């Protein structure tokens, strides 16, 4: 055995490589995709909430990215650019309007290009009437709240009548059996009537509409003897007394468009002509059509508050027949329920 050569022992170790880790490159790609999608939806959301003027500005930028207007190099609109892309902006919304240009740039909106069509005269007048009607209704609500909240007006709530008529907002101050607005047979206002008119004055002054004041009596004839002073003069003097009280309360003289007395020609209670409610003062906050009719601007306008023929009317600087300066004394006046 000693003479034999020893054979080396060779140990073979095999390394088996099983399916190992594939790396995380796909996660990076997926994260990039999710980030891009989130950015895309953010852009879409911001575009949907962005004002039209800003969208128009963005569209103008992509049409002309140069700092100076008109100096960018661009192809003919609609032509194909690199990769087949056109240079015409894509209109995402129904109407994307550019920001307002400088005054005097001569640019006008063309209805054929999606701009707003100009309003006709009829549409402008109709819109003005709606605005005026809303203003009068708002004034009516303010007066109703004032009547409920004011201690001096709440006591006369039943004698203050408010309604919207074709002529405008009508405020009627009516008599009651035991609470007349005027002294019997006189144009002189009771102290509480003056307080009522002074309370109403700031509200009437707060609107641009002009005023019409009308005096009414019942059918009881005025016992004026041979002076010729009748319910016509009495109703006109009472309307003028109400005008003076409103002016003293803060209403400007320029707001007075008409002061008129109609005697018993327009009764509130036609079934009972002698009812005290027929003795009243009507204040109308006139709309534009009625104001034009009162001032003779529009002969076609209708105003049913115009007194009938023979009505005594007074305006500033005028006095009714038989009343002197418009503040007739009671000399020779007899008892009257008017």
pLDDT tens, residue order, the chain (338 aa): 555 667 778 887 776 665 555 667 888 888 999 999 999 998 888 888 888 777 777 777 777 655 555 544 444 444 445 444 555 444 444 444 545 544 444 444 555 555 567 878 788 888 888 888 888 888 888 888 888 888 778 888 888 899 999 899 999 998 876 788 887 778 889 888 898 899 899 999 988 889 999 999 888 887 766 678 888 999 999 999 999 999 999 999 999 999 999 998 988 888 888 888 888 999 999 988 888 887 877 554 444 444 333 334 443 333 333 333 333 333 333 333 44
What is d(CA 36, CA 24) in angstroms, rounded to the nearest whole number? Answer: 19
Where exactly are the structural domains of the chain?
122-314
Q: What is the predicted pLDDT for the residue at 334? A: 35
Q: In degrees, to the nearest 5, what angle opens at C-alpha 14 toward C-alphas 12 and 17? A: 170
CATH topology of domain 122-314: 60s Ribosomal Protein L30; Chain: A; (3.30.1330)
H or E stretch at 140: helix 121-149
CB 142 within 8 A of CB 203: yes
Q: What is the predicted pLDDT for the residue at 3? A: 57
Q: What is the predicted pLDDT for the residue at 248? A: 94
Contacts with 252 (C-beta within 8 Å, 6 or more apart), sequence order: 205
Contacts with 56 (C-beta within 8 Å, 6 or more apart), sequence order: 96, 97, 98, 99
Q: Name the pTM for this structure.
A: 0.53
Residue 158 φ/ψ, nearest 5 degrees:
-70, -15
DSSP 10-68: ---------S----SHHHHHHHHHHHHHHHHHHHHHHHHHS-HHHHHHHHHHHH--SSS
Q: What is the predicted pLDDT for the residue at 290? A: 85
């Amino acid at each position: 055995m000693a003479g034999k050569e020893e054979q080396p022992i060779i140990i073979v170790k095999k390394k088996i490589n099983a399916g190992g880790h594939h790396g995380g490159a796909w996660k990076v790609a997926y994260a990039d995709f999710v980030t891009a999608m989130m950015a895309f939806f953010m852009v879409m959301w911001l575009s949907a909430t962005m004002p039209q003027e800003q969208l128009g500005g963005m569209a103008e930028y992509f049409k002309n990215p140069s700092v100076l207007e008109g100096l960018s190099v661009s192809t003919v609109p609609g032509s194909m650019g690199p990769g087949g892309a056109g240079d015409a902006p894509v209109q995402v919304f129904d109407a994307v309007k550019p920001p307002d240009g400088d005054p005097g740039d001569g640019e006008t909106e063309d209805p054929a290009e999606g701009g707003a069509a100009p309003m006709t005269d009829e549409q402008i007048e109709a819109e003005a009437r709606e605005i005026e009607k809303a203003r009068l209704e708002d004034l009516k609500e303010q007066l109703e709240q004032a009547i409920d909240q004011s201690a001096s007006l709440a006591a006369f709530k039943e004698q203050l009548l408010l309604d919207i008529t074709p002529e405008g907002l009508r405020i009627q101050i009516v008599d009651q059996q035991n609470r007349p607005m005027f002294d019997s047979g006189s144009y002189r206002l009771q102290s509480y009537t003056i307080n009522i008119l002074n309370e109403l004055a700031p509200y009437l002054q707060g609107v641009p509409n002009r005023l019409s004041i009308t005096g009414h009596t019942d059918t009881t004839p005025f016992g004026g003897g041979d002076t010729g002073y009748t319910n016509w003069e009495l109703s006109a003097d009472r309307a003028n007394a109400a005008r003076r009280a409103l002016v003293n309360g803060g209403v400007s003289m320029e707001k007075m468009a008409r002061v008129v007395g109609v005697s018993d020609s327009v009764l509130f209670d036609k079934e009972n002509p002698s009812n005290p409610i027929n003795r009243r003062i009507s204040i109308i906050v006139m709309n534009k059509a009625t104001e034009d009719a009162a001032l003779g601007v529009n002969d076609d306008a209708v105003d049913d508050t115009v007194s009938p023929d023979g009505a005594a009317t007074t305006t500033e600087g005028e006095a009714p027949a038989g009343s002197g300066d418009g503040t007739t004394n009671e000399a020779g006046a007899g008892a009257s329920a008017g």
